[in-house]
């Protein structure tokens, strides 16, 4: 039995996308121990993942913090890792490679860098979708692919019966009208107008709810929807997963919860401006679709309403 390390730091949407690749790695190493290196926001979440034996915390302190770096690298080396699957593919993880496995190829360290096709530049390769890049990386690393292109994030769910009872949730639509302040180009500005039209068209058959993150609770007061919290605090990722999975429909900006919804099998719709494409981030699924426009401020509520399928 060997010890295998997977690296996936985040963000939330990236975690949802990578869970199919993690499952494929695990199933191809079913006689090995699978460890995962991640950051604090996802440490407890990955403890629930059935395909991982244990989780290692990376605080991602400065590379010049030599004491921290020494102890992290020593901890990993003590595991006598035989192979690393770098699903983060960042400059930081490339730096880790130089410490742990210098001059290694994809037989020891599987990453975009070590598996990139010989006839393509990195710039050309990065034009592929996220899941296609994972697929190529793992196939080149001799992993049999079953789940990489079809991630299933359902393992992240937990029991939220108490929360649903408290808010009397039965048939409901979840909105995610928020985004990071520095990514305002991702934000569609007409959610309140859409809420009124949904209520009018469906005669209040569905509750309209929002589930803000910790820094979005105050902003949620500006949305005319029921705000779902757990004892006044934002839902954790597992609670949010269950809220999304049990919903009738999800409407979201291009944020982490949208990617969760896509890979939880939820019915829904995400709204894209010109910042990227739905294809590149692999968000469209059988039940989850996207509207792509050049300018989100010009996307009308009627256009969004046409795409909502509550049958």
**Residues 275-295: tens digit of each pLDDT:** 889 999 999 999 999 999 999
**Rounded CA gap, 237 and 213, in Å?**
10
CATH number of 3-152: 3.40.50.2000
pLDDT of residue 159: 98
Tokens, residue 93: 């993880």
Q: What is the DSSP letter of 83?
A: E
**Which residues, 6+ apart, have CB-to-CB distance to 85 below 8 Å?**
4, 5, 6, 7, 21, 25, 110, 111, 137, 138, 141
48 within 8 A of 38, measured Cβ to Cβ: no
**Rounded CA gap, 117 and 270, in Å?**
32
Domain positions in the chain: 3-152, 159-306
> Could you tell me the strand order of the sheet in which 268-272 lies?
226-227, 207-210, 172-176, 249-253, 268-272, 288-292
**Rounded CA gap, 171 and 175, in Å?**
14
Quick one: which H or E segment has residue 82?
strand 81-86
pLDDT of residue 134: 97
114 within 8 A of 105, measured Cβ to Cβ: yes
Q: For the whole model, what pTM was predicted?
A: 0.94
Tokens, residue 108: 């020891």
SS3 249: strand
CATH number of 159-306: 3.40.50.2000
CB atoms within 10 A of CB 80: 8
**Rounded CA gap, 92 and 113, in Å?**
13
pLDDT of residue 122: 82
CA separation (Å) from 247 to 172, 174, 234, 242, 243? Answer: 6, 7, 18, 8, 6
**Rounded CA gap, 188 and 252, in Å?**
9
pLDDT of residue 138: 97
Identify any residues that bridge with 35 across adjacent strands, giving them in sequence order: 5, 54
Residue among 211, 294, 298, 280 at smallest CA distance from 251 = 211
Tokens, residue 284: 């469209």
- The answer to whether domain 3-152 and domain 159-306 are alike in fold is yes
Residue among 260, 206, 263 at smallest CA distance from 238 = 260
Instruction: Spell out the SS3 assignment of 131-178.
Output: HHHHHHHHHHCCCCCCCCCCCCCHHHCCCCHHHHHHCCCCCEEEEECC
What is the block-wise mean pLDDT of the chain (311 residues), using blocks of 10 residues?
95 96 98 98 97 98 96 97 97 96 92 90 88 96 97 98 97 94 86 97 94 96 97 98 98 97 98 92 96 95 94 74
SS3 4: strand
């Amino acid at each position: 039995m060997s010890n295998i390390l997977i690296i996936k730091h985040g963000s939330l949407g990236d975690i949802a996308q990578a869970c199919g690749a993690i499952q494929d790695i695990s199933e191809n190493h079913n006689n090995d121990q699978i460890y995962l290196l991640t950051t604090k926001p996802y440490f407890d979440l990955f403890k629930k993942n059935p395909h991982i034996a244990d989780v290692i915390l990376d605080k991602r302190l400065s590379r010049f913090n030599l004491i921290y770096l020494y102890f992290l690298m020593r901890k990993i080396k003590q595991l006598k890792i035989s192979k690393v699957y770098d699903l983060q593919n960042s400059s930081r993880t490339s730096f880790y490679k130089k410490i742990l496995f210098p001059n290694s190829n994809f037989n020891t360290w599987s990453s975009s860098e070590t598996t990139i096709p010989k006839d393509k530049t990195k710039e050309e390769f990065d034009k592929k979708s996220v899941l296609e890049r994972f697929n190529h990386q793992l196939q080149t690393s001799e992993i049999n692919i079953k789940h990489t292109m079809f991630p299933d994030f359902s393992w992240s769910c937990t029991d939220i019966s108490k929360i649903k009872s408290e808010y009397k949730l039965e048939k409901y639509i979840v909105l995610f009208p928020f985004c990071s302040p520095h990514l305002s180009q991702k934000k569609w500005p007409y959610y309140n107008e859409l809420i009124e039209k949904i209520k009018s068209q469906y005669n209040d058959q569905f509750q309209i709810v929002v589930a803000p993150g910790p820094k979005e609770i105050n902003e949620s007061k500006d949305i005319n929807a029921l705000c779902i919290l757990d004892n006044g605090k934002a839902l954790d990722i597992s609670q949010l997963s269950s809220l999304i999975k049990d919903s009738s429909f999800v409407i979201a900006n291009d944020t982490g919860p949208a990617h969760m919804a896509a890979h939880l099998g939820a019915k829904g719709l995400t709204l894209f401006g010109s910042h990227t494409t739905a294809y590149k981030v692999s968000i469209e699924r059988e039940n989850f679709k996207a509207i792509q426009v050049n300018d989100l401020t010009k996307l009308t509520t009627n256009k969004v309403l046409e795409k909502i399928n509550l049958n």
